[in-house]
Structure 1
Amino acid sequence: MSAPIVVHPPAPEGGRHVTAYGESLGTAYGLTDLIEFLERTDIDVASLDLEDETVIEWKGGTHEVWGRLAG
């Protein structure tokens, strides 16, 4: 089973697209944006573990990567 939240790789212009349960939530430019997006869903943000791979999948970098990856 895949994680319900997916934070996609950093875009060339910065930020990361976020989906929850297959629905687009927008582009986050940091953890504040991510938390704001998730508060609009039924996800319990207060108990969210950013490293729990059963809940959130980070593609192209961890929760510390929000800008364009060097290439």
Structure 2
Amino acid sequence: MSIPVIVYPPDEQGGRRVRADGAILGLAFSVRDVAALLQTAGLQDFDEMDVVRSTWIEWRGGGPDDWTH
């Protein structure tokens, strides 16, 4: 995958905006949500472990375990 993915810091409700290739995919509240957004964007076989291990996802404001503001 060459499309850069950015997961932004959690907001006040714990949601993290997910952006891929310059487009907002949606708001995630868990690693499962990030995987679902990426699946909707065309990565049907992508799961939670892929999200956690991926080197092309940039986590801002904390890693995949950080979901509080």
Q: TM-score, normalised by structure 2?
A: 0.77
Q: TM-score, normalised by structure 1?
A: 0.75
> Aligned residues: percent identity?
34
Q: Which has the larger radius of gyration?
A: 1
Q: Deviations over 1:7-63 (max 9, x none)?
A: 00010221100001111011100011111000022346258353444x100000010
The DSSP-based 3-state class of the residue aligned with 2:64 is: coil
Where do 4+ consecutive residues of structure 1 move more than 6 Å? none
- Number of residue equivalences: 66
Higher helix proportion? 2
Is the Cα contact below 8 Å between 2:35 and 2:51 reproduced in 1?
A: no
Q: CA RMSD in A?
A: 2.2
Structure 2: unaligned runs, 5 residues or longer? none
How do 1:37-48 residues align onto structure 2 when only pairs under 5 Å count? 37-43=37-43, 45=46, 48=50
In the aligned structure 2, how far is the partner of 1:37 from the partner of 1:20? Answer: 10
Structure 1: unaligned runs, 5 residues or longer? none
What is the identity, as a one-letter code, of the residue corresponding to 1:25? L
What is the identity, as a one-letter code, of the residue corresponding to 1:21? D
